[in-house]
Amino acid sequence: MASRQRCLSMDNLNPHIKELEYALRGPLVARSFQIQKELKEGVKKPFTQMIRANAGDCHAMGQVPITFIRQVLAMVIYPAFLDNPHFPDDAKERARTILDSCQGGSVGSYTNCSGLEIVRKQVAKFIELRDGVPADWQNVIVSAGASDAIRKVLRLFACDVDGQTSGVMIPIPQYPLYSATLTDFGLARINYYLDESKNWGLDVLELKRAITEGKKVCKPRAIVVINPGNPTGQVLSRQNIEEIIKFAYEENLFILADEVYQDNVYEDDCKFHSFKKVLTEMGEPYNTVELASFMSCSKGYMGECGFRAGYAEVINMCPKVKVMYLKGNSVMLCSSVIGQACLYSITNPPQKGEPSYESFQKEKNAILDSLKLRAKMVAKTFNSMEAITCNPTQGAMYAFPRIYLPPKAIEVAKSQGKEPDVFYAFELLEKTGICIVGGSGFGQQPGTYHFRTTILLQTDTFKTMLEKFTEFHTEFIKNYS
């Protein structure tokens, strides 16, 4: 009897899924988990532990959760803790407010598809306090992390316009969420390059070059900006943001502002400026530009990646389009209610005079001060090595050094069917147990090679990683020169 043909095969699979690539969960990371398993099974390696520097997962790297946030979450999950005298009153007050707003008084119930009203109103207060300009809570949509919010906005552009594919401008290097999502939705990708020689600065002339090229093959409709940068760690100046807003106005582009690292600014001469604030203060006609800005509980000082919580603030969107946008969001019913409680706690931290204020500030500042120290450490160490240059990490959680690979290494990499930076990363992994991500997964200028590493490892482990990295790199360059 002939075998039955499968109804779903590689020949009839959605072609966008086959084209989709996501470097942060690719073969290199898969191999790192396999090595970790081998170590547990007693397989001999040139190292005894895995050092993961590949993902922005704070708690996985040893960061201790903020006590106040976890106290609130503990009480909303198990309300009996509200009677526990060891929990402070300000945490109890937040927990009661959240529970009182939930159907049946339980975070186990559904909420409005855009999130609990009290959470959205609190986020709006947070934005107003940050920017000094009004924020309408009805423009705030709570999401399952910033990634979920970003995908739901980009999905709105997934159609042809005047017979042309819709295009979205993204920075190169970029966070792979964007390239993967554009591929998934069948949107055209318009690359604009950040200037490594100017600390990954953004040049308006480059934006104009990129959109001119883009118009030859698609209809440009939106621009993505990541500030502070991932993987590049730069912080945009206010002047740069104004230039981007003017460019978006002139080209009639929707701005997607990825601002999830807004708490992570380490250099004294740098300051985070939100696109919402700058756009509003610029006045007419620029304050009419359509904008979606994104924030997450996963980054910053809190690092609560696993709760999958974030938000989008959408302004100047056509009211009829907004109805469609909210309708699309409703298909998933609502984001995690525990995640919403986490977002409420983060945007409503202890205030001066409340019981948890001193301890909260101490924990928060300790995390940010430690990240600042590691940001300086990583650039200094990489710049001391032969054949590596590294711009300072002004913000976010990453460094994106450039490696000058010998021709022999490039030749060997190509013979193995690997990108040269990926080959370098695999060699590093197999010989040291350090997991990074090759720069080709983020995009880079042709002919250049980079890698991304986080600065999230705790200080002692981070020092060990950099020492092992230095030893490996010196030997690698020597062997392939």
The third-level CATH classification (topology) of the domain covering 67-107 is Helix Hairpins (1.10.287)
**Statement: residue 466 has pLDDT above 70:** yes
Euclidean distance between CA atoms 392 and 375, whole angstroms: 7
Average pLDDT over residues 82-107: 95
The 10s digit of each residue's pLDDT in 232-273 is: 999 999 999 999 999 999 999 999 999 999 999 998 889 999
Q: Which two tokens stand for residue 204?
A: 């308006």
For the stretch 132-171, what's the b/e string if a residue is b when 16 or more beta carbons lie within 10 angstroms of its beta carbon? eeebebebbbbbbbbbbbbbbbbbbbeeeeeeebbbbbbb
- More confidently predicted of 393 and 19: 393
**Per-residue pLDDT band at 102 (split at 50, 70, 90):** very high
The 10s digit of each residue's pLDDT in 24-48 is: 667 888 888 898 899 898 899 888 8
User: Tokens 């069948």 sit at which residue?
Assistant: 186
The third-level CATH classification (topology) of the domain covering 117-347 is Aspartate Aminotransferase; domain 2 (3.40.640)
Q: Show the DSSP H helices in 283-395 as ranges.
A: 319-330, 337-347, 357-383
The 10s digit of each residue's pLDDT in 195-223 is: 999 999 999 999 999 999 999 999 999 99
Average pLDDT over residues 55-83: 93
**Statement: residue 2 has pLDDT above 70:** no
The CATH number of 15-62+362-480 is which of 3.90.1560.10, 3.40.309.10, 3.90.1150.10, 3.30.470.10?
3.90.1150.10
**Statement: residue 341 has pLDDT above 70:** yes
Q: Where are the domains of the chain?
A: 15-62+362-480, 67-107, 117-347
Q: Report which of 51, 29, 57, 59 is spatially closest to residue 469, judged by C-alpha positions.
A: 51
Q: Show the DSSP H helices in 252-356 as ranges.
A: 275-282, 319-330, 337-347
pTM: 0.92
User: Tokens 């009211």 sit at which residue?
Assistant: 319
The 10s digit of each residue's pLDDT in 223-238 is: 999 999 999 999 999 9
**How buried is 269 (Cβ within 10 angstroms: 0-12 exposed, 13-18 middle, 19+ buried)?**
exposed
Out of 56-65, 167-176, 254-263, 358-367, pick the least confident.
Answer: 56-65
* pLDDT-above-70 percentage for the chain: 98
